[in-house]
């Protein structure tokens, strides 16, 4: 039987705001295996919109370290491809077009609330960074009130969130649902300085890059319902989502500095080889025995995402004193 399903397309979406740590590397490994084991294509998209936090030189370093780990991609800022540009900062036209469509439909409205509040809400892809529910202060302003406020300062833009839960099926967690209206409220899609928020940029770019499979850390699980609302509002096809558990230290807490050497670069500088680092990530993911020495390509045959353990991956970074 002929299949009309689109070819599998996955992506890496690193933010060049901090060094590549074992948690990001493990998510990247699983995203790579998930796509490569199904004969799909991978795009590298650099999420560099968070101006003040983006550090020069980090993009090149992250890409180089991912390659050192044996991961590769078919499209990206360094290799080109048909869906470029592959840096979010160069995709302003796509983001602005989507914002216009939301405004034209009355689905985005200007918000004049304090800059600090908006800055926090707009660049917070991770649940723990988010503030309280937006109370809807600017939702019902009259045209005259808007014009009056806009004369004093440019507004941010919020998405008008419909009431009710937004269920979706996650490839790892199964049925999930979040009530965006009740928890987050109308969220920011563009800042007053014109920079699109993570939620809008990620949806627009994943859709424009024809991404069929989004695999990322489950700290982004609560964002998914927001993103689904944007896919629907913009009339874009939704990808499949799979959110993998985070990496934790031996004490079960989210991996942090106090657990020891955590960045791929640090381990490399200490002389730890790529097969040992990949082996650590793979054994923490139930894909290889403890202390295995493997490369990603060794793990492709027989990889199944549903065999990855449900509980967070435990890594004892501090154990890395010798290669």
Residues belonging to the active site:
257
Least distance between ligand GLU and beta carbon 154 (Å): 26
Least distance between ligand GLU and beta carbon 50 (Å): 9
Fill in the DSSP letter of residue 75.
B
With binding defined as CB under 6 A, does residue 186 bind ligand GLU?
A: no
Q: Which residues pair with 76 in a beta bridge?
A: 80
Given a contact cutoff of 8 angstroms between Cβ atoms, the answer to whether 279 and 294 are in contact is: yes
With binding defined as CB under 6 A, does residue 196 bind ligand GLU?
A: no
With binding defined as CB under 6 A, does residue 216 bind ligand GLU?
A: yes
CA 34 to chain centre: 16
Nearest residue to 39 via CA among 6, 65, 66, 76: 6
Q: Could you please report the per-residue DSSP string of 264-283?
A: HHHHHHTT--HHHHHHHHHH
With binding defined as CB under 6 A, does residue 224 bind ligand GLU?
A: no
With binding defined as CB under 6 A, does residue 15 bind ligand GLU?
A: yes
Contact letters for ligand GLU, residues 106-125 (x by CB under 6 A): -------------------x
Q: Which is nearer to ligand GLU, 138 or 189 (CB)?
A: 189
Rounded Cα gap, residues 59 and 133, in angstroms: 33
Q: Which is nearer to ligand GLU, 216 or 259 (CB)?
A: 216
With binding defined as CB under 6 A, does residue 47 bind ligand GLU?
A: yes
User: Of the listed pieces 11-19, 62-70, 97-105, 287-295, which binds ligand GLU according to CB under 6 A?
Assistant: 11-19
Least distance between ligand GLU and beta carbon 71 (Å): 15
With binding defined as CB under 6 A, does residue 220 bind ligand GLU?
A: yes
Q: Which is nearer to ligand GLU, 58 or 220 (CB)?
A: 220
With binding defined as CB under 6 A, does residue 26 bind ligand GLU?
A: no
Contact letters for ligand GLU, residues 231-270 (x by CB under 6 A): ----------------------------------------
Nearest residue to 197 via CA among 134, 251, 137, 287: 134
Residues 124-183 that bind ligand GLU (CB under 6 A): 125
Contacts of 230 (CB under 8 A, 6+ apart): 159, 189, 199, 200, 203, 236
Least distance between ligand GLU and beta carbon 33 (Å): 16
Least distance between ligand GLU and beta carbon 106 (Å): 27
Contacts of 222 (CB under 8 A, 6+ apart): 127, 178, 183, 184
Largest CA distance in the chain: 68
Rounded Cα gap, residues 106 and 103, in angstroms: 5
Rounded Cα gap, residues 77 and 84, in angstroms: 8
Rounded Cα gap, residues 170 and 168, in angstroms: 6
Q: Which is nearer to ligand GLU, 128 or 322 (CB)?
A: 128
Residues that bind ligand GLU (CB under 6 A): 13-15, 47, 125, 202, 216, 220
């Amino acid at each position: 039987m002929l299949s009309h399903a689109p070819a599998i397309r996955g992506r890496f979406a690193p933010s060049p705001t901090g060094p590549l740590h074992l948690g990001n590397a493990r998510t990247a490994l699983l995203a790579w295996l998930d796509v490569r084991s199904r004969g799909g294509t991978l795009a590298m998209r650099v999420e560099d919109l968070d101006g003040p936090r983006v550090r020069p030189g980090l993009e090149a370093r992250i890409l180089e370290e991912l390659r050192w780990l044996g991961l590769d991609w078919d499209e990206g800022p360094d290799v080109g491809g048909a869906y470029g540009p592959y840096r979010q900062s160069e995709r302003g036209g796509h983001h602005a077009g989507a914002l216009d469509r939301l405004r034209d439909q009355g689905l985005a409205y200007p918000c004049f609330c304090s800059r600090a509040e908006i800055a926090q809400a707009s660049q917070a892809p991770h649940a723990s960074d988010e503030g309280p529910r937006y109370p809807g202060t600017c939702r019902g302003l009259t045209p005259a009130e808007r014009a009056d406020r806009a004369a004093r300062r440019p507004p941010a833009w919020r998405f008008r969130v419909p009431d009710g839960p937004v269920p979706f099926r996650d490839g790892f967690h199964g049925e999930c649902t979040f009530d965006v209206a009740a928890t987050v409220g109308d969220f920011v899609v563009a800042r007053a300085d014109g920079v699109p928020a993570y939620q809008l940029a990620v949806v627009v770019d994943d859709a424009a890059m024809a991404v069929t499979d989004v695999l990322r850390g489950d700290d982004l699980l609560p964002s998914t319902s927001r993103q689904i609302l944007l896919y629907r509002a913009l009339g874009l096809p939704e990808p499949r989502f799979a959110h993998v558990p985070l990496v934790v230290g031996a004490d079960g807490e989210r991996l942090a500095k106090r657990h020891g050497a955590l960045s791929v670069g640090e381990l490399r500088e200490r002389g730890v080889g790529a097969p040992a680092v990949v082996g650590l990530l793979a054994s923490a993911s139930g894909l290889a025995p403890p202390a295995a020495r493997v490369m990603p390509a060794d793990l492709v045959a027989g990889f199944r995402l549903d065999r990855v353990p449900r509980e967070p991956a435990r890594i004892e970074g501090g154990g890395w004193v010798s290669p």
